[in-house]
């Protein structure tokens, strides 16, 4: 007997604040936007039984709203799913740090080789996410919604497809839109088969 399990990777809504690298910085999403996303998710009737969320407010606040709307859901907070930590430049508006623009350019061109000051290294980020994902795939038994971040979703996809996580195109070319869903199916039998059904589909 085989069992098909649907996993939905939801990127949070657009955050408040000036353009910046938001990783560990605990920025929020406008409460009205969170309510809209919650309503859209309820309308979609994904039939999930569990929600797993990053602990950062832009994800966790939505998970809590969804739990109020559907109290039968099981909620888990997974610190491993948080976004990459961008170190000293995390949460700093780009316009306020012109002296760091050359560093940022180097990072965007080759993120595996050019670390930002006091930031999590790209290989550390990939290892954190892929290790969590491997264990999650082994343990998951029912349809699940994961509320997380663009970088997190890219690393999961890099692990699944597989893609070269060191390639800057994974971050500059592969678009993971705010409040979009990437759909993964796991077919569990004697072994587990994985397939990516859609990437960054709007939730409407």
Cα-based angle 168, 156, 189 (whole degrees, multiple of 5): 145
Domain count, the chain: 1
| Bond preceding residue 162 cis, omega within 30 of 0 | yes
Q: Which pLDDT tens digits describe the chain residue by residue (204 residues)?
A: 899 999 999 999 999 999 999 999 999 999 999 999 999 999 999 999 999 999 999 999 999 999 999 999 999 999 999 999 999 999 999 999 999 999 999 999 999 999 999 999 999 999 999 999 999 999 999 999 999 999 999 999 999 998 999 999 999 999 999 999 999 999 999 999 999 999 999 997
Domain containing residue 81: 3-202
CB-based contacts of 32-37 (< 8 A; 24+ apart in sequence): 33/179, 34/61, 34/62, 34/65, 35/65, 37/13, 37/62, 37/179, 37/203
**CATH number assigned to the domain comprising residue 71:** 3.40.50.1240
Give the span between the Cα atoms of 64 and 185, in whole angstroms: 25
């Amino acid at each position: 007997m085989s069992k098909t399990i649907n996993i939905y990777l939801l990127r949070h809504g657009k955050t408040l604040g000036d353009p910046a690298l938001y990783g560990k910085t605990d920025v929020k999403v406008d409460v009205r936007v969170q309510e809209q996303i919650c309503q859209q998710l309820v309308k979609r009737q994904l039939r999930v039984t569990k929600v797993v969320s990053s602990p950062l407010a832009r994800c966790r606040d939505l998970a809590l709203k969804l739990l109020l709307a559907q109290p039968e859901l099981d909620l888990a907070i997974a610190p491993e799913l948080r976004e990459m930590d961008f170190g000293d430049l995390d949460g700093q508006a780009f316009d306020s740090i012109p002296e760091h623009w050359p560093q940022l350019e180097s990072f965007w061109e080759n993120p595996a080789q050019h670390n930002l000051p006091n930031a999590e290294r790209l290989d550390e980020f990939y290892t954190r996410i892929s290790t969590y994902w491997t264990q999650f795939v082994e343990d998951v038994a029912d349809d699940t919604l994961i509320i997380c971040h663009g970088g997190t979703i890219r690393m999961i996809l890099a692990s699944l497809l597989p893609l070269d996580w060191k390639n800057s195109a994974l971050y500059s070319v592969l678009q993971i839109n705010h409040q979009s869903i990437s759909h993964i199916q796991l077919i569990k039998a004697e072994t587990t088969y994985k397939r990516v059904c859609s990437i960054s589909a709007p939730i409407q």
